[in-house]
């Protein structure tokens, strides 16, 4: 193999693929990214055997086709440190040679034929989702998952497809994030009867592989794994085993709830201010809604007290609820500051529900008032 590569394009692609490779592994070959160059183009492949990626690389010109294994740490450092706009990569049977205008590196390399194969997207039936929507589905749910829990099903995002609508759900047992949007079944695609719980890391990788100019993304969920195809990448992942909680049961009944309209930016600022005096021992913030205003108060035995007022359009009965400001802030971070949302409250013991007008729901369980 002998190729010339535009360094900036190769660097961007290599960094994305390298995120899949494990930093430690009993199989050292997995700590490489494989470069395959054919007459059809160049593709980077990486896997840790649970998650894999095939990524198209632009800006590669081949003098001779072939394959090479590129060590993540050292080859990545070369790409970052060199300032050459074009680098040349060549294999000679003994290793890999990387050349710039005034630099040359010779790296040992394993046999690329021994690198594990990552599945290609060859499914006839699949789900087609607008790329921007899928990115929002992931961004607004993946933060609510819990990779530390002994309940493995919480370490991923649940995907459900029903009646032309794709639903993504993330939860850690203390809060729940749900986002819905339209999707199209192609060639009679039907989701597998088993739960489709995609690992958090795989969902983050899918999000990173979607670019602003992408139009559609294809998804094929099978019994034990999932394949996702974007215009430049194919991502493979095994599914998380286990039973996902019955998330629809988490939503409180809407009868008797009070609906309060709030602006994201203003509410986020008030929460950040009220949380300044909170601590691990007294991490909650009290939210009181009454008489046309919201009062947010925090306190700690050794940290002091805070009281923040926020004018709102509310003339219902007084309601006070204690919430973890970290969970509230996570909701605000994935929304535009100018966006308006509806907060539904029943009382201080029932879950708080945040709703937007674009299919996003976020449920937060209250803290005990005597914390």
Query: 121 in a domain, yes or no?
Result: no
How are beta strands 86-91 and 96-99 bridged, if at all? Answer: antiparallel
Query: 369 in a domain, yes or no?
Result: no
Query: 370 in a domain, yes or no?
Result: no
Among residues 197, 222, 247, which one ends one of the domains? 247
**Token reading at 81:** 């440190």
Q: In what order do the strands lie in the sheet with 319-323?
A: 304-311, 293-300, 285-290, 319-323
Same domain, 108 and 149: no
Among residues 114, 136, 153, which one ends one of the domains? 114
Compute, in degrees rounded to 10, the torsion defined by CA atoms 270, 271, 272, 273.
50
Same domain, 70 and 163: no
| CA 260 vs CA 214, 313, 326, 344, 353: distances in Å | 36, 7, 20, 6, 10
Query: 272 in a domain, yes or no?
Result: yes
**Token reading at 23:** 């930093």
Query: 242 in a domain, yes or no?
Result: yes
Same domain, 332 and 359: yes
Query: 119 in a domain, yes or no?
Result: no
9-51 residue pLDDT tens: 999 999 999 999 998 888 999 999 999 999 999 999 999 999 9
Same domain, 135 and 242: yes
Rounded to two decimals, the pTM is 0.92
180-201 residue pLDDT tens: 999 999 998 988 777 899 999 9
Q: Which of the four pLDDT bands, split at 50, 70 and 90, describes residue 369?
A: low
Q: Residue 130: which CATH number?
A: 3.10.150.10
Q: Which of 16, 14, 118 is nearest to 71 (CA)?
A: 14
Same domain, 258 and 348: yes
What DSSP element (H or E) covers 332? helix 325-333
Among residues 59, 88, 114, which one ends one of the domains? 114
Same domain, 99 and 174: no
User: Range of 284's domain?
Assistant: 253-364
Query: 132 in a domain, yes or no?
Result: yes
Handedness of CA 104, 108, 114, 118 (dihedral sign): negative
93-146 residue pLDDT tens: 788 999 999 999 999 988 999 999 999 999 899 999 999 999 999 999 999 999
Same domain, 12 and 92: yes
Same domain, 130 and 230: yes
The total of structural domains in the chain comes to: 3
């Amino acid at each position: 193999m002998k190729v010339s590569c535009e360094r900036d394009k190769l660097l961007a692609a290599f960094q994305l693929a390298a995120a899949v490779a494990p930093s430690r592994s009993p199989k050292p070959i997995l700590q490489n990214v494989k470069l395959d160059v054919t007459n059809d183009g160049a593709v980077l492949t990486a896997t840790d055997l649970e998650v894999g990626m095939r990524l198209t690389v632009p800006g590669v010109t081949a003098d001779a086709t072939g394959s090479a294994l590129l060590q993540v740490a050292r080859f990545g450092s070369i790409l970052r440190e060199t300032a050459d706009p074009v680098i040349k990569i060549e294999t000679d049977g003994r290793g890999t040679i990387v050349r710039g205008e005034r630099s040359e590196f010779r790296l040992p390399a394993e046999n690329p034929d021994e690198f594990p194969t990552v599945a290609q997207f060859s499914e006839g039936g699949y789900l087609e989702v607008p790329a921007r929507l899928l990115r929002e589905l992931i961004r607004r749910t993946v933060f609510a998952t819990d990779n530390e829990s002994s309940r493995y099903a919480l370490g991923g995002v649940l995907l459900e497809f029903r009646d032309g609508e794709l639903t993504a759900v993330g939860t850690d047992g203390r809060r729940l994030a749900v986002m819905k949007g339209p999707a199209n079944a192609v060639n009679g695609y039907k989701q597998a009867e088993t739960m489709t719980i995609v690992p958090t890391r795989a969902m983050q990788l899918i999000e990173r592989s979607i670019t602003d100019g992408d139009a559609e993304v294809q998804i094929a969920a099978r019994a034990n794994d999932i394949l996702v195809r974007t215009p430049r990448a194919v991502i493979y992942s095994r599914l998380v085993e286990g039973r996902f909680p019955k998330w629809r049961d988490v939503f409180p009944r809407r009868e008797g709830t009070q609906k309060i309209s709030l602006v994201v930016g203003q509410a986020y600022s008030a929460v950040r201010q009220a949380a300044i005096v909170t601590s691990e021992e007294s991490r909650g913030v009290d939210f009181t809604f009454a008489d046309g205003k919201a009062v947010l108060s925090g306190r700690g035995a050794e940290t002091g007290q805070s009281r923040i007022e926020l004018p709102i359009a509310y003339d219902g009965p007084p309601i006070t609820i204690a919430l973890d400001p970290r969970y509230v802030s996570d909701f605000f971070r994935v929304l535009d500051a100018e966006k308006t949302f509806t907060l539904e409250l029943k009382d201080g013991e029932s879950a708080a529900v945040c709703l937007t007008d674009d299919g996003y729901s976020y449920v937060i369980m209250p803290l005990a008032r005597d914390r």
